[in-house]
A and B are shown apart, each in its own frame.
Chain A
Amino acid sequence: MKNLDLEVHHITRVEGHGNIYVNVKKGVIERCEWAVPEAPRFFEAMVLGRQWNELHHITSRICGICSIGHTLASLKATEAAMGIPLSEQDLKLRKLALHAENMQSHVLHLGYLVLPDLMGAGSVIPLAASNPQEVKIVIRLHRLANEMSNMICGRTTHPQRLIPGGFAKLPTMKELTKLRARLKDCVPDLQAVAGLFKKLAPKLPDFTRETEFIALTKKDEYALYDGDLASTDTGKAPVSEYLSYANEYIVPISTAKRAKHVRDSYMVGALARFNLNFDKLSPMAKQAAALFDLKPVCHNPFMNSIAQLVETVHSVGDSIRLIDDIEASGLQSQPDYHKPDIKVKAGRGIGAVEVPRGILFHDYTYNQKGACTKANCIIPTNQNHANIELDMKALLPKILDKTEKEIELNLEMLVRAYDPCISCSTHYVTVHFV
């Protein structure tokens, strides 16, 4: 009977650092835990007393990789609190911004973090020498997504143009047209990446554990920028009920909070969105899913990476459609240094946005002077922690007959599949056997 003591120290990055602890004695699992020792940053306290037109700037800094998503969730919360309107054109441009970030983040995860596991490498660095063509394609897609963020938001990380009520500066129609041509041209690159993952997909563990999936949903589109709450267990609800979905709780081993709904855990992210909103995907994205035989409801967390690939294809197609729309209605220009005329008032507002790693909530209360008096931010990775640990507990007994090294790799791959805050997560990792 097997004895195993495994400590994967600082595995992942969930806004930083995560550890895996496993103790097995004579074949009996005594401990299997996922802990986050990251230094807490206290954003919900830091924003108290700050002005309504600064909140998005501050909370963008929660996460470098999904700073556009945090900015948008923050702006939506502030706009809801004060009843600030947004034009149809600005709405389309914000959707483009979100697509750009999702593409950038998904490509980074797939190409730089997941691919090395599937190709038996420690990182993308040796792959640059052994598989230069594949790596160059990944870089090209990543660059396109970043240049798109730059064009729409004025920066790839911690965007500047996104402000309450609209945009401080707009892209030109010429820039958008050029972007559209490049998006059309990237389809062969997408096909090449899909083909590569198709070849490697048999290396993704065949593991399922039934769980609940939560994501935004919308009648007429694949919900990313807004929608209602949806659960594979309980159906639809308005976003105002988010607190009864994301019941946050604290465990002593982690500085990151966890969340649960009707089960002991739930999952958010690309796979949750795919499972809830499959029928709203573009035809090309559905074709990509079919290539992997990915169908809703899929309970294999390792397929989250494939769902990200499907979403990347969707984002390219939907971005082309959005630019067509903007062109058809004619891009309305605005004065330089645009600052929407906003009447500050007291109130509470909730902003929910689907960011690369799942549903994100910002909830602010403002006083009459426009100062923030209460804030709550629930980030996707925190909603996934409990699900990650329960997956580990379910996966471990099934792989106990493997070598220590394979067990470790499988557990790491599981964490990585969730793409816990990227930049963060997951390929890192020093492992200590104790």
Chain B
Amino acid sequence: MKPKVAFFDFAGCEGDQLQIANLEEDILALLGQVEVVSFREVMKEHSDNYDIAFVEGSCTRLQDEDRLKQIRKNAKLVVAIGSCATIGGINSLKNYKDLDDVRKTVYGEQARLFDTYAARPIDAVIPVDAYVHGCPMTKEEFLQVVKSLLLGKKPDIPNYPVCVECKKNENICAFERGQYCVGTVTRAGCNSCCVNEGTICWGCRGLVDNPNENSHKEVLIKYGQTVDDAIAKFRLYFGWQEAKR
């Protein structure tokens, strides 16, 4: 019997589920291996009987926790897909602000109608079995994680910084170019895709398990960057992880 899989989303842009559509012809191969029983973006049918649940998006409201807990109850495995789900992602930018002000900024006088709390990854609400990092996740890594899970293996996710991949790709270091980059502390696995395209690492895959803070500070000093620069960039994606540390 093919394992039954389901897709769910919370606060996010749905760019990770879009990567499934972007598998193009490979979707057909994937459909040979799994049975999709729920995927609101693409299908009308729905079933609560599934083995693997893929969850995109952060939890940003108390009222959404019940739905997450129900998914956990129904599924044998829960997989977080994309930064919002794996680390809280860009949504956690608002965690640094007064949440009443945040609501008023967007909804004015009617702010009270719209609940919100600090954005958090889904493992802040329910246990998670596997992670597909990235903003968005890449379809290649998604397939790799799915293959591992189908084989009963633990997916192999790098726990070294993006710098390792970036050096291998022979990029000119962003610091050398006078820019600030968080690749020194960000989990690799993206093949330094953003730096390869001419920009910087923004940190979307989250902090490695044990970021080398001292060496990061040395880099800051060496290149004349300030702690303020570092804090500002850390806040883009690391908000929830930093608050927990």
Do A and B associate with each other?
yes
Using a CB–CB cutoff of 8 Å, the interface residues on chain A facing chain B are 10, 13, 15-16, 39-42, 44-48, 50-51, 54, 57-58, 61-65, 67, 108, 112-113, 116, 122-125, 128, 136, 139, 142-143, 146, 154-158, 160-161, 163, 167-169, 250, 252, 255, 336-339, 421-425, 427-430
B residues less than 8 Å from A39 (CB atoms) = 10-11, 57, 60-61, 64, 116
With both chains docked as a complex, state the minimum distance between the C-beta of A355 and any C-beta of chain B, in angstroms.
13
Q: Are A113 and B198 in contact (CB under 8 A)?
A: no
Closest Cβ–Cβ distance, residue A119 to chain B (whole Å)? 13
Given contacts A41-B11, A158-B135, A255-B114, 9 further A-B contacts (CB under 8 A): A46-B94, A46-B97, A47-B93, A51-B232, A61-B15, A125-B43, A142-B21, A160-B198, A160-B199
**Chain B residues whose C-beta falls within 8 Å of the C-beta of A65 in the assembled complex:** 13-15, 18
Residues of chain A with a CB closer than 8 A to B93's CB: 46-47, 50, 58
Out of B10, B42, B94, B103, name the residue touching A112 (CB < 8 Å). B42
Q: Which residue of the partner chain B has the closest CB to A169?
A: B198
Question: Does A155 lie within 8 Å of B64, measured CB to CB?
Answer: no
Instruction: Give Cα distance in the complex from A161 to B107, angstroms.
Output: 33
A422 touches B14 (CB 8 A): yes
Contacts of A167 in B (CB 8 A): 198
Name the residue on A nearest B204 (C-beta).
A158
Among A42, A136, A158, A339, point to the contact of B136 (Cβ < 8 A). A158
Q: Which B residues contact A (CB, under 8 angstroms)?
A: 9-19, 21-22, 24-25, 27-28, 31, 36, 39-46, 57, 60-61, 64, 89-91, 93-94, 97, 101-103, 105-108, 110, 113-114, 116, 135-136, 172, 177, 179, 193-194, 196-199, 202, 232, 236
Contact, CB under 8 Å: A13 / B14 = yes
Chain A residues whose C-beta falls within 8 Å of the C-beta of B102 in the assembled complex: 42, 45-46
A250: B residues at CB distance < 8 A: 107-108, 110, 113
Chain A's nearest CB lies how many Å from the CB of B104? 8
How far is the CB of B99 from the nearest CB of chain A, in Å? 9
B25 touches A143 (CB 8 A): yes
Beta-carbon nearest neighbor of A12 in chain B: B40
Do B110 and A58 touch (CB < 8 A)?
A: no
A42 neighbours in B (Cβ, 8 Å): 94, 102-103, 105-106, 116
For residue B41, which residues in chain A have a CB less than 8 angstroms away from its CB? 13, 422-425, 427-428
Most buried by A among B15, B57, B60: B15
Secondary structure call for the A interface:
loop
Q: List 13 A-B contacts (CB under 8 A).
A: A39-B64, A41-B60, A44-B106, A61-B90, A65-B14, A139-B25, A142-B22, A154-B193, A160-B198, A168-B198, A168-B199, A169-B197, A423-B21
B128 → chain A closest CB, angstroms: 19
Q: Which of these, A15, A47, A161, A429, contacts B14 with CB under 8 Å?
A: A15
Closest CB of chain B to A121's CB: distance in Å? 9
**Measured CA separation A1–B133 after assembly (Å):** 55
- Sorted nearest first, the 5 A-B pairs with minimum C-beta distance are A64-B15, A168-B198, A428-B40, A123-B43, A154-B197
Bound: A47/B91 CA distance, A: 11
Given contacts A143-B24, A252-B113, whether A122 and B43 have CB atoms under 8 Å apart is yes
Q: For the complex, what is the distance from the CA of A339 to the CA of B177, rounded to whole Å?
A: 9
Of the residues A48, A154, A156, A425, contact of B198 by C-beta under 8 Å: A154
Report the bound CA distance from A39 to B179 in whole Å: 35
Contact A337-B198, Cβ < 8 Å, known A10-B40, A54-B236, A139-B24: yes
User: A42-B105, A337-B198 are contacts. A142–B24 as well, Cβ < 8 Å?
Assistant: yes
Q: Assess whether B22 is in contact with A146, with CB atoms less than 8 Å apart.
A: yes
Q: Which residue, of A44, A338, A424, has the highest number of chain B Cβ atoms within 10 A?
A: A424
Partner of A62, one of B13, B17, B22: B13
Of the candidates B10, B14, B36, B90, the one whose C-beta lies within 8 Å of that of A423 is B14
Q: What residues on B are CB-neighbors of A143 within 8 Å?
A: 24-25
- Chain A residue, CB-CB nearest to B63: A39
